[in-house]
Structure formats: C-alpha cells, structure tokens
Amino acid sequence: MFQWNSRFDNQLCLAAGCRMTQEPVEVRAPVFQGLQIIVALNSKVQAGVNGRLMEVSDAGVYLVLATGLHEGLDRYESHSLQRYVRIGFDAEAAERQGFGLDLIARSGHHCFNDNDLLVLRQGLSATARALATQILVCPYQGPMRDLFLNAKSLELSAAVLQQCLPAAGAQGAGAALSRADVERLWHAREVATAHFQDPLSLAELARAVGINERKLTAGFRQLFGMSVFEHLQQHRLEQAYGLLTSGGCSVTQVALEVGYSIAHFSTAFRRRFGIAPSELLR
C-alpha cells in the first residue's frame, strides 16, 4: 500500500495512492483551487464540499473546478480499498488552458453546482483506466520517473476532458445524451451493480429505469466507456479484491462469492489488477 504526490513545472500537481483503511477515517482540507481530475479506480468514500455530501462507491471520474475557498471532507469506512489518481491544474493554469466555469457547467453529470464550485461525474473509460493504472505502477525512478508521470498525467487529462467537454473535440462520439438520459443511465448502473450476484437481463434493467433497451446499450457504453456486462465483471473483481485484502477468505471462497468459476477467476483477476489473487493472501 502506498500514496505519494508530486508537482511539476507546468503548474500541474499529481497525487496517487493504493491503500486500505483499517479504521474509519475522516479527512478535512481546503478544496484545491483550480481544476482537479480525480480518477477513482476503487473507492468507497463519503465525500463532501461545504457540508453537502455524496456517496462514492464505485470506479469513476470526477472533475472539480473551484475558484474560491471551500472546505472539503472525505469519510472512509474501515477495510475499504482506495485506488486513485488525482491531477490538479492551479487556477491560473486552468484558465490559461480554457477550462472555464461556463464550459464545464454545460458538460457532464453534475454532483454540485454552486457559483464558484462545480463537481462533475462521468464514467471511467477503458483508456482512462489504463492511463491511471500506468501512473500507479510507474516503472521508473529519478528524473525519468518525473518525465513519465508528467507525460501520463497530461495524456490522462486529455482523455478525460475529451470525453467530457464538447469544446475538447468530443463531437462525433455519438448523439448527445440528454440530461434525463444521463440520469437514467446512472440509475441503471446503480441498479445493475446492486444485482451483480443475480444480474438482470438488459430488458429487465431497461424497464427498471424507464429507458428502451437500445438506448440503454448504446448510452451506457457512451457514458461509461464499457458495456453493462463489462461493468459487472469489473465490479465483481473489485469486490473480490476487497474480500481478499480484508482476510478470512480463501481464493476459492472469494471466487464463488463474486460469481466466478475457479477456472476463470485467477486469469480475470490478474488481467484486471496485474497480480494473482493468491499474492494478496501472503
């Protein structure tokens, strides 16, 4: 388990970590002034700004743009795995790059929208996941490490902003989703996740959230960068990671608990996390 942070000459800040909290933890700190891009690979936290709280219980991307003073709060449950990458452009750099409040306010699924503070949520695409993982497992040391992390941070920022902001070149990525469609698709993701041990069919899921099956299939991939089936596979493996690191379960028990056959579990787990599940038991 680890966490670290760096700052580069181009006014870019980078923090990343992989940690398991053994006891409940509450962290209060001022919100970074500027633009933050937070990629949560695994996360279970109650996050808040200025006393307003939201639950973060799955992988996703959050954009936070703050131009004033705000108080942030993060509450972590015990035995919750946190894998994240956080990129920050200070206020001057964000403005210079054209990431203004008006542009970001027109994009994404708003968690907060309060004058000089915006928080947007979007799905975690395969590209963003891969780039964030490369940052977490950076193979270099010394000056080459800084060069690698700076480049990957900019690449990850571009990938996230291209998905989120129309002005960043997202035209042509498919028909724009209405605000109502985005809300239904987030609801579909939550319902699908809640039933991961006994999955709903696409038709059942579409009926549950009031959207047609075709829009569910296409819109889910457009918003989250993966199919409903791929999301459920990802969620199962993240549940498995948490069970293995909390102790008390064998690899076989965990595989069965999250709905994998023994034959396929180790292969899928290694592909997802880069290690064999048995390594977490040592």
Tokens of 41: 């690979």
Provide the 10 A C-beta neighbour count for residue 264.
10
Would you place residue 171 in the very low, low, confident or very high pLDDT band (cuts 50, 70, 90)? very low
pLDDT tens for each residue of 7-25: 887 678 999 998 887 888 8
Domain end, chosen from 208, 225, 242, is at 225
d(CA 167, CA 162): 8
228, 192 Cβ separation under 8 angstroms: yes
Using CA atoms, how far residue 25 sits from 90, 214, 270, in Å, is 27, 42, 30
Please work out, in degrees rounded to the nearest 5, the angle formed at the alpha carbon of residue 129 by the alpha carbons of 46 and 37.
55
CATH of residue 240's domain is 1.10.10.60
Shared domain for 150 and 188, answered yes or no, is: no
Using CA atoms, how far residue 141 sits from 131, 137, 147, 151, in Å, is 18, 11, 10, 15
Q: Is 206 left (phi over 0), alpha (psi -120 to 50) or beta?
A: alpha
pLDDT tens for each residue of 61-104: 888 888 888 888 888 888 777 889 999 988 777 777 666 555 66
Shared domain for 35 and 127, answered yes or no, is: yes
Q: How many domains is the chain built from?
A: 3
Shared domain for 50 and 187, answered yes or no, is: no
Tokens of 67: 């131009």
CATH of residue 98's domain is 2.60.120.10
